[in-house]
Amino acid sequence: MNLKTFKIGGIHPPEGKEATEKKPIEIIMPKEGALMVYPMSQHIGAPAVPIVQKGDRVLLGQKIAEAEAFMCSPIHASVSGTVKDIKPMLTPGGTMAQSVIVENDGLFEEDPSLGKNKDWQKLSKEEILDKIKNAGIVGLGGAGFPTHIKLNPPPTDKIDTIIVNAAECEPYLTSDHRVMLEKSDRLAMGLKIMLTLHPGAKGYIAIENNKPDAIEAMSEVCRKYDDISVVALLTKYPQGSEKQLIYAVTGREVKSGKLPASEGCIVDNVDTVLAVERACAQDRPLMRRIVTFTGDAVKNPGNYQVRIGMNINDFIEQVGGFAEEPAKIIAGGPMMGKAMFSTDVPFVKTSSALLCLTRKSAELPPESNCIRCGKCVGACPMGLMPLTLNQDALAGDMAAFEAHDGLDCIMCGSCSFTCPAKRHLAQTIIAFRGEVMASKRKK
Amino acid sequence: MNDNLMVSSSPHIRSKETVSGVMRDVVIALVPATVMGIVYFGVTAAIMVAVSILAAVLWETLYNKIAKKPNTVKDFSAVITGLLLALNMPALSFSEHPIAIFVMPIVGAGFAIVIAKQIFGGLGQNFINPALAGRAFLVASYPTLMTGAAFKATNFMAEAETYATPLASMKEGGSYGATLVQGLIGNTGGTIGETCAIALIVGGLYLIYKKVISWRIPVLYIGTVLVFTYILKLCGVEGAVSRDYTEIFFGGLMLGAFFMATDYASSPVTPLGQLIMGFGCGFITVLIRVFGGYPEGVSYSILLMNLCVPLIDRWTTPKKFGYVKPVKVKEVK
């Protein structure tokens, strides 16, 4: 098989997928009386605006917050129940955000308008985009970029390629893998719907070769479509990074500071494409997502379909809790996920995984002097020199940081992973990159 | 529950590779050459290796104590510096120089560790190879003991009294005075660790196999010496006409190419920079060997190239992914 991959750098972290890759997706529903929390900020852009009042009864699938700004996405209730309060609550990202709190009445009574308009073939391009927007779909891989905006780039960018990012290069994560095995038809259908928005465009499902069963399953389904094919990729981190994936699939290099659309490409995550299928072919908004719950502290690691808004502590309790006290809980994978300081937060649209590590595996070795071995230079998929950027960041030299292309960092963490001196390369670079960007915005 | 969750920035996992692991690999790679050196030069070689390593470790400990820094001997880099320094010294006769055998390694290690390495910030911060700096210091301090005259013949050589190193006899008499096989197995005059080419190549290949060093510096270095020597030979340059390919197996070239020029801190990190480093070292080595006053040029070629490393690194920064040629340079301010 001809395996494709990205151009430079990359690492091979231990995969850690054995614990969950064979576990079918299990549906976990919130219990009666559970408090569901819907933060208004679950995406990139302006927060959504609540359109319900305290005391209102809401139905499953009912829109409870409207997207008023351009870069925004609406939010729907994922249970039926009563609005208990609207107030700032802690989110998984560690910040407070205005949230609608709904007490689950356990009836799951559906909004009667749901599932009425399933005939997406009859819809115009604008109507499909509108449907995707009104379903509250954002990039579910973790970025949270509103999908209807991504699918509708400026007319100067002619889209000829839509890639489903099924690389799942983050260690431990297996939810995309399971979706491809269990919902292959619907995933391909989701891509087909997206392709109708860009006539003439080709669809690719890009899968790393550590998931041979998924490659087989998707190839089987893709035979039905003449404009969709599977691309097998060599397993290497960060294959699933947008720019790296575009290069692997098409050989095109997204220019520094540009978006994928500038090279005629759109990249969307597996769960996002599935949500598009759900919105268009089943006329149901985004109310659930699939998460991998894993790590050596977990009792029953697995892939679970959860309701957005469900409390993470409740979820952990319902799926069996911990085998050992976790020392670190990460929202997402171990390379780019965020460490959480509290699990008393809801699942949001961008929660892709919960990785719970014991003290033994969470402990990081101490930092020592850089020995200039150059391994970080070899690992950087963007062709940067992390050791130099680390010096710039520590010295607080913004001009040098920019001159050394620090703003091109994709924050994949490969440099920190590979460093034998265990230097906090990615950490200092990412933090300083934020400072440089903030100061540039001020100017 | 969950009151004491650890919070840190991503990534949350690290590779198993450590600095001491890398350094340990270098020590392992030097074992064959060290053993051969002791076989050829006897007990005094063993004493000098031991004293040099011990002195390097003690100097490092002492400096860290005085500077109130955490002790860094556990990273094994001082051991390597001490070992490399010893391998770069001639084995002296115990009966003739009973004091110098101890004093030279101690002084050399002191200069290498304290002056060349620690004062500039320790591991990774030194801009020249500490062991070579120590050697250069010893050559200046003990000119008679560190060069030509003091080089002892190996235990397996007949005309022990009159023996000179292959490169010295080339300089003087126009022939190596040693066969290729002698150079490969190390049965020639020279410093403790430089004579046995096979042991050094085995160690070097081990480092490349373990990905501790890349092939670029050693291959370019040795290749350049070979090609440039032949070019000068073909041009009929006086000092080069009687040289041939056995040149690369004599003197400190193998030791320098695999173990000294590849020192992380004082060699470039960029792939292209490493090629330039290898080429530059080879070029200067041949210049010194053919035209210079010294028979051997490895140490000084590496020290000279060490000084160019910051510049090389700056010039050879790899092109980033998604690089676009700047169309117009915008005027700032």
**Whole-number Å distance between alpha carbons of A203 and A83:** 42
What is the secondary structure of A180-239 as a DSSP string? HHHSHHHHHHHHHHHHHTSTT-EEEEEEETT-HHHHHHHHHHHTT-SSEEEEEE---BTT
Are A134 and A265 in the same domain? yes
Distance from CA of A187 to the nearest CA of B (A): 30
Residues in chain A within 8 Å Cβ distance of B19:
368, 371, 420-421
Q: Dihedral (C-alpha) B310, B314, B316, B318: value to the nearest 10 degrees?
A: 120
Report ipTM (2 d.p.).
0.85
Residue A340 lies in a domain: no
Residues in chain B within 8 Å Cβ distance of A340:
5, 7
Q: Which domain holds residue B67?
A: 19-312
Residue B189 lies in a domain: yes
Are A269 and A128 in the same domain? yes
* DSSP structural state of residue A47: P
Read off the pLDDT of residues B164-183 as tens digits, 9 standing for 90 and up: 788 888 888 788 888 888 88
Residues in chain B within 8 Å Cβ distance of A372:
124, 264-265, 267, 269
Residue A101 lies in a domain: no
Residues in chain B within 8 Å Cβ distance of A370:
124
Per-residue pLDDT tens digits of chain A, which is 443 residues long: 568 888 888 999 999 999 899 999 999 999 998 999 999 999 999 999 999 999 999 999 999 999 988 899 999 999 999 999 999 999 988 889 999 999 999 888 988 888 888 888 888 888 999 999 999 999 998 788 999 999 998 888 889 999 999 999 999 999 999 999 999 999 999 999 999 999 889 999 999 999 999 999 999 999 999 899 999 999 999 999 999 999 999 999 999 888 899 999 999 999 999 999 999 999 999 999 999 999 999 999 999 999 999 999 999 999 998 999 899 999 999 999 999 988 899 999 998 899 999 998 888 888 888 999 999 999 999 999 999 999 999 999 999 999 999 999 999 999 999 999 999 999 999 999 999 999 988 87
- Say if residue B163's pLDDT is above 70: no
- Nearest residue in chain A measured CA to CA from B262: A373
Residue B10 lies in a domain: no
CATH number for A198: 3.40.50.11540
- End residue of a domain, out of A246, A281, A316: A281
Residue B261 lies in a domain: yes
Residue A429 lies in a domain: yes
Are A275 and A137 in the same domain? yes
A418 touches chain B (CB under 8 A): yes
Residue B61 lies in a domain: yes
**Whole-number Å distance between alpha carbons of A280 and A377:** 45
The structural domain count of chain A equals 2
Read off the pLDDT of residues A165-193 as tens digits, 9 standing for 90 and up: 999 999 999 999 999 999 999 999 999 99
A416 touches chain B (CB under 8 A): yes
Residue B115 lies in a domain: yes
Instruction: Provide the pLDDT for residue B148.
Output: 64
The beta strands (E) that lie in A242-392 are given as 265-269, 288-294, 302-307, 328-331, 338-340, 353-357
Residue B317 lies in a domain: no
- Nearest residue in chain B measured CA to CA from A382: B321
Read off the pLDDT of residues A115-164 as tens digits, 9 standing for 90 and up: 888 888 888 888 999 999 999 999 998 788 999 999 998 888 889 999 99
Residue B320 lies in a domain: no
User: Under DSSP, is residue A355 helix (H, G, I), strand (E, B) or coil?
Assistant: strand
Residue A345 lies in a domain: no
Put residue A145 in one of left, alpha, beta given phi > 0 → left and psi -120 to 50 → alpha. Answer: beta
Residue A210 lies in a domain: yes
Are A267 and A151 in the same domain? yes
A17 touches chain B (CB under 8 A): no
- Say if residue B333's pLDDT is above 60: no
- Nearest residue in chain B measured CA to CA from A246: B322
CATH number for B109: 1.10.3430
Residue A163 lies in a domain: yes
Interfacial B residues in 152-181 facing A (CB < 8 Å): none
The structural domain count of chain B equals 1
Residue B220 lies in a domain: yes
Q: Which residue type sits at B63? A: Y
Residue A349 lies in a domain: no
Q: Which domain holds residue A263?
A: 120-281
Cβ within 8 Å, pair A336-B18: no
- End residue of a domain, out of A251, A281, A311: A281
Instruction: Provide the pLDDT for residue B82.
Output: 96
HSE-CB of B197 using CA atoms within 13 angstroms: 16
**Whole-number Å distance between alpha carbons of B55 and B72:** 14
Are A138 and A275 in the same domain? yes
- Nearest residue in chain A measured CA to CA from B22: A420
- Say if residue B226's pLDDT is above 90: yes
